[in-house]
């Protein structure tokens, strides 16, 4: 397959001012008539008109009302000898009922839906399917009235009516120019929740959330999130909703999380539907974030869009940063940051160290769908955050204003965004642009020296990034503070350092005692920090650091060192020994939950994940690592049994369920206590978990109990088996809850997890046509470090089979499964041989999809 390069970008030869679509949903397919008014791009030399298409049956082509010759291939339609401006009409038939890729227009249970980002519009009609072609759309839909009573497209409803044979039609007009990837239509049988929002300038926006019939009682949370997002964007960024109608449609079959189509967002049900008995605290919070994310795209993505797909982070990094900020304001800023970094380390750092590593603005790709990644999204958000850190919040806001002043209505590049920030702040971002161009996670090595005579502390920071193409240094914002050994913040020591050289020293004056440095506060840059801080220093920070992120980080660093050392011990056949100091620190954390917040304490007592830990080891022994981490959990459970039991008993939430951060924090800590208590399996604790499972009035508590039971190893655990069976029996008609049921089994530590997962692929609850089911059962298994990377290669062989079963049917989702092999080279030779064989089997498959081929080729390369 062909590689596409950023350096080859050229502007479109033609511009499309208006698009008129007539979409008729019929028994033998959907007929799409498209009328485009075209003119040559005056900035570009004359070229023929080349349109993109995929799986289109062409029925007619005419120019200015007359037949016109054309050259058609499977993926392009070329017209020569066109006048400088003209009207092109094409008629095609498509088969949405057979569209299993869920890209373009497809059938789902309750109707027809579309997904056009990145290149789905070409599966609907012939078009210059690239984001720098922006047009005004009018869309008329026709369908059977009884089967598809709801007909939606972007923009405003213009007219509608009945036609012969029980059919009806509706016309929608979108007043805003947009790229084709933001096109959407829906035809279905759906219920709707309506509301309104009055903007700061007094306009009333009609809001609507459409869901499958019977699910209206699971919509209010998403609606509230939408209104909060609208208000927040006005207050924080002065950005108002520009639309008269803002619609969200939820669909159960969806490749991604959600899609920001102009005025007609289409969402995975996972990020819309919630009710206390079916959704967890984390689900509620994710819905807030995703609803906000798609709404925020209306400005960062839609009003100002991407020139080309290499610029994806222009809209995604920025919009993730915005939704993170919204989530932090809405919930709990401390734990929000901790979770962001936890996620970054679990997904993005491994990606950046593996075969798919790429800069946040990639320079080439084979399949753009493979670049909707943690790097483009989450590292992209970190880069935006660093810009704000470097210039300050006010200048950042001024930069946003300047960005919209310059580029509203345009398709632009990452450089354009940074230039607006530079203009508003006067900051020179030349060196900073390295963050956009290089893959890999930079490392900072820190060394501190306190000089008693001069009462000064010299901090030397050196940077490196072995994955980068050269040794040039990054500009890295490093937030620092110094603490005294008794935990006092040393006055005047809070600084934002700008590390711009390969190695650089920073001097702190008036430091009268040997300080405890706290580096990278609030995780001011997405880097690894190598610093030989002592356990005593880390204990001081864990107890006293006023930046909650770095307090948490100190605990993670302590635990990380212990687990990694224990993993080596276990691999050598020895039993790890755990220091009392760590247990004491954990005890203090538990005791301080009232002052420090239960949510924070829950985060602080959650040990670093195996995937994150594995990145710190050159050759990973997944069994030893797993045993080491479990051993520390068990040790804490033994040493702190009374504390865990006491907190478990006292932290109950007696008020009616709300997903408020305060209640959620209490539940999180209480459920963490439960998860420690079940570390020593026994009848009493099984009963405790089972009682919670049975009596919980909300999914957070019910699911936490189920997860605790699902990890129990013993062959004969009656409570585990009953809970799993009861859970399914009770929730089998709630698709999203069934996903949880699948995932709790695929992520279990139990040694027989693969056998369970295999059996579940044949269970009626599983469906290879539904991405959420695949993510819950198969991909989640691929993230189960110890079980997926089984020494006998069984996990790899299973994954290869699943990829091959899926690659043709849904290449995007299959390709995400293939990413489970990203880190195969981190394991021993035996495992590597198994993984390589599995990858080769996939690569050598005849007719392998481009998506999967790119991933496995890079993995093997």
Contacts with ligand DPP by CB under 6 A lie at: 117, 256, 258-260, 293-294, 316
The DSSP symbol for 304 reads B
DSSP symbols for 740-806 = HHHHHHHT---TTHHHHHHHHHTSTT--TT-HHHHIIIIIHHHT-HHHHT-TTSHHHHHHHHHHHHH
Q: How many C-beta atoms lie closer than 10 Å to residue 405's C-beta?
A: 11
From CA 240, how far away is CA 235, in angstroms rounded? 9
Joined tokens for residue 681:
């399996």
668 binds, among ligand DPP, Zn ion, none (CB under 5 to 8 A by kind): none
Q: Could you tell me the CA-to-CA distances from 740 to 169, 485, 703 in Å, in that order?
A: 39, 46, 8
Name which of 141 and 306 has its Cβ closer to Zn ion.
Answer: 306
The one catalytic residue in 260, 294, 340, 610 is 294
Contact 125, 21 (CB under 8 A): yes
Locate 198 and state its tokens: 């009055």
Of the pair 174, 260, the CB lying nearest Zn ion is at 260
Does 655 qualify as catalytic in the annotation? no
What is the smallest separation between the CB atom of 259 and Zn ion, expressed in angstroms? Answer: 8
The secondary structure element, H or E, covering residue 686 is helix 683-695
Residue tagged 């224990």 (tokens): 566
Of residues 259 and 848, the one with the C-beta less far from ligand DPP: 259
Name which of ligand DPP, Zn ion, none residue 256 binds, using a CB cut-off of 5 to 8 Å depending on partner kind: ligand DPP
- Looking at beta carbons only, is 22 or 294 nearer to Zn ion? 294
Strand, coil or helix: 167? strand
- Please answer whether residues 380 and 360 qualify as being in contact, where contact means their C-beta atoms are separated by less than 8 angstroms: yes
Tell me the β-bridge partners of 477: 498
3-state DSSP assignment of residue 107: strand
Please report how close the Cβ of residue 516 comes to Zn ion at its closest, in angstroms: 40
Least Å distance between CB 372 and ligand DPP? 6
Handedness of CA 123, 128, 134, 140 (dihedral sign): negative
- What is the distance, to the nearest Å, from the Cα of residue 45 to the centroid of all Cα atoms in its chain? 40
Give the β-pairing of 76-79 and 49-52. Answer: antiparallel
Q: How far is the CB of 119 from ligand DPP (least distance, A)?
A: 12
CA 313, CA 436: separation in Å to the nearest integer? 9
Min dist. Cβ of residue 293 to Zn ion (A): 5
Nearer Cβ to ligand DPP (314/653): 314
**CA-derived radius of gyration, the chain:** 28
C-beta nearest to ligand DPP: residue? 256
The nearer residue to Zn ion, 258 or 818, going by C-beta atoms, is: 258
From the list Zn ion, ligand DPP, none, partner contacted by residue 325 (C-beta under 5 to 8 A by kind):
none
Smallest distance from ligand DPP to CB 377, Å: 7
How many angstroms separate the Cα of 694 from the Cα of each of 332, 339, 647, 691, 697?
A: 29, 29, 20, 5, 9
Q: From the list Zn ion, ligand DPP, none, pick the one residue 117 interacts with, judged by a Cβ distance below 5 to 8 Å according to partner type.
A: ligand DPP
- Residue 212 touches which of ligand DPP, Zn ion, none (CB < 5 to 8 A by kind)? none
Phi, psi of 426 (to 5 degrees): 75, 5
The site partner of 259 among Zn ion, ligand DPP, none (C-beta below 5 to 8 Å per kind) is ligand DPP
Contact 724, 745 (CB under 8 A): yes
- The rounded distance, in Å, linking the Cα atoms of 286 and 182 is 23
H-run or E-run covering 32:
strand 29-40
**Cβ 680 to ligand DPP, closest distance in Å?**
43
| x-or-dash string of contact with Zn ion, 297-336, rule CB under 5 A | -------------------x--x-----------------
Return the number of the residue (304 or 627) whose C-beta is nearest Zn ion: 304
3-state secondary structure of 363: coil
Q: Pick between residue 319 and residue 748 the one whose CB is nearest to Zn ion.
A: 319
Least separation in angstroms between CB 779 and ligand DPP: 17
Contact call for residues 833 and 825 (beta carbons, < 8 A) = no
> For Zn ion, which is the closer residue by CB, 665 or 771?
771
CB of 536 to Zn ion, least distance (A): 44
- How many residues belong to the site for Zn ion (CB under 5 A)? 2
Distance of alpha carbon 811 from alpha carbon 565, whole angstroms: 41
Q: Which residues contact residue 809 at a Cβ distance below 8 angstroms, ignoring those fewer than 6 apart?
A: 100, 101, 768, 769
**CA 337 centroid distance within chain:** 15
- Give the residue with the Cβ less far from ligand DPP, 293 or 521: 293
The backbone torsions φ and ψ at residue 268, rounded to the nearest 5 degrees and listed phi first, read -60, 135
Instruction: Identify what 308 binds: Zn ion, ligand DPP, none; CB under 5 to 8 Å per kind.
Output: none
Alpha-carbon 197 to chain mean position: 28
Q: How far is the CB of 327 from Zn ion (least distance, A)?
A: 14
Q: Which does 822 bind (CB under 5 to 8 A by kind): Zn ion, ligand DPP, none?
A: none
Residues that bind Zn ion (CB under 5 A): 316, 319
Catalytic annotation, residues: 294
């Amino acid at each position: 397959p062909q590689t596409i390069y950023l350096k080859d970008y050229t502007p479109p030869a033609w511009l499309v001012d208006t698009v008129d679509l007539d979409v008729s949903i019929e028994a033998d397919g959907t007929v799409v008539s498209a009328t485009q008014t075209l003119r040559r791009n005056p900035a570009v030399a004359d070229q023929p008109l080349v349109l993109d298409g995929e799986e289109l049956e062409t029925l007619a082509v005419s120019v200015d009302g007359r037949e016109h010759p054309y050259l058609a291939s499977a993926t392009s339609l070329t017209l020569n000898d066109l006048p400088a401006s003209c009207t092109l009409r094409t008629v095609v038939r498509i088969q949405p009922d057979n569209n299993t890729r869920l890209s373009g227009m497809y059938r789902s249970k309750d109707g027809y839906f579309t997904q056009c980002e990145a290149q789905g519009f070409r599966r609907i009609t012939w078009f210059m399917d690239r984001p720098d072609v922006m047009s005004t759309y009018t869309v008329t839909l026709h369908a059977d009235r009884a089967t598809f009573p709801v007909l939606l497209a972007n923009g405003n409803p213009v007219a509608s009516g009945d036609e012969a044979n029980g059919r009806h039609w509706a016309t929608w007009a979108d007043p805003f120019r947009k790229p084709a990837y933001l096109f959407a239509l829906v035809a279905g049988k759906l219920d709707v929740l309506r509301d309104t929002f009055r903007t700061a300038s007094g306009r009333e926006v009609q809001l609507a959330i459409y869901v499958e019939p019977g699910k209206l009682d699971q919509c209010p949370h998403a609606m509230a999130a939408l209104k909060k997002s609208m208000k927040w964007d006005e207050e924080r960024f002065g950005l108002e909703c520009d639309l008269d109608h803002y619609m969200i449609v939820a669909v159960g079959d969806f490749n991604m999380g959600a899609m920001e189509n102009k005025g007609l967002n289409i969402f995975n049900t996972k990020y819309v539907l919630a009710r206390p008995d079916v959704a967890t605290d984390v689900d509620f919070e994710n819905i807030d974030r995703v609803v906000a994310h798609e709404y925020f795209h209306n400005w960062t993505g839609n009003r100002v869009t991407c020139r080309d797909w290499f610029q994806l982070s222009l809209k995604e990094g920025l919009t993730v940063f915005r939704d993170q900020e919204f989530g932090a304001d809405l919930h709990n800023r401390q734990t929000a940051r901790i979770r962001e970094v936890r996620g970054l380390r679990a997904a993005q750092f491994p990606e950046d160290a593996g075969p798919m590593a790429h800069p946040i603005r990639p320079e080439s790709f084979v399949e753009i769908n493979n670049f909707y990644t943690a790097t483009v999204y989450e590292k992209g958000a970190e880069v935006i955050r660093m810009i704000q850190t470097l210039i300050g919040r006010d200048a950042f806001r001024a930069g946003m204003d300047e960005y919209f002043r310059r580029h509203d209505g345009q398709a632009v590049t990452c450089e354009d965004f940074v230039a607006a920030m530079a203009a508003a702040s006067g900051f020179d971002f030349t060196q900073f642009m390295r963050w956009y161009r290089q893959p890999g996670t930079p490392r900072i090595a820190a060394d501190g020296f306190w000089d008693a005579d001069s009462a000064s502390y010299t901090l030397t920071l050196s940077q490196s990034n072995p994955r980068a193409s050269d040794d040039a240094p990054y500009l890295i914002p490093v937030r620092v503070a110094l603490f005294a050994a008794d935990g006092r913040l040393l006055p005047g020591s809070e600084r934002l350092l700008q590390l711009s050289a390969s190695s650089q020293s920073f001097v702190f004056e008036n430091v009268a005692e040997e300080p405890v440095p706290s580096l990278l506060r609030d995780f001011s840059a997405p880097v690894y920090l190598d610093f030989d801080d002592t356990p005593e220093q880390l204990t001081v920070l864990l107890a006293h650091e006023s930046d909650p992120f770095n307090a948490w980080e100190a605990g993670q660093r302590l635990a990380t060192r212990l687990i990694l050392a224990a993993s080596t011990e276990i691999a050598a056949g020895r039993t790890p020994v755990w220091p009392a100091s760590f247990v004491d620190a954990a005890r203090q954390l538990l005791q301080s939950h009232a002052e420090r917040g239960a949510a924070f304490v829950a985060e602080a007592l959650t040990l670093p994940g195996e995937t994150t830990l594995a990145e710190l080891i050159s050759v990973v022994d997944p069994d030893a690592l797993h045993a080491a981490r479990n051993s520390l959990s068990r040790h804490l459970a033994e040493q702190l049994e009374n504390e865990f039991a006491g907190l478990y008993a006292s932290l109950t939430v007696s008020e009616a369920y709300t997903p408020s951060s305060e209640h959620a924090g209490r539940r999180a800590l209480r459920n963490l206590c439960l998860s420690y208590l079940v570390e020593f399996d026994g009848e009493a604790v099984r009963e405790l978990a089972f009682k919670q499972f049975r009596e919980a009035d909300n999914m957070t508590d019910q699911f936490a109990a189920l997860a605790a039971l699902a990890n129990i190893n013993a062959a004969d655990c009656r409570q585990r088996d009953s809970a799993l069976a009861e859970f399914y029996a009770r929730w089998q008609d709630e698709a999203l809850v069934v996903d949880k049921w699948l995932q709790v089994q695929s992520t279990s530590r139990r040694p027989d997890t693969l056998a369970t997962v295999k059996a579940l692929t044949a269970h009626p609850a599983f469906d290879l046509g539904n991405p959420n089911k695949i993510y819950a059962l198969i991909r989640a298994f691929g993230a189960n470090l110890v079980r997926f990377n089984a020494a006998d290669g069984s996990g790899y062989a299973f994954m290869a089979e699943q990829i091959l079963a899926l690659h043709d049917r849904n290449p995007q989702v299959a390709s995400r499964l293939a990413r489970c092999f990203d880190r195969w080279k981190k394991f021993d030779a035996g495992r590597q041989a198994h993984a390589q064989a599995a990858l080769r089997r996939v690569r050598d498959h005849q007719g392998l999809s481009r998506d999967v081929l790119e991933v496995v080729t890079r993995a093997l390369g």
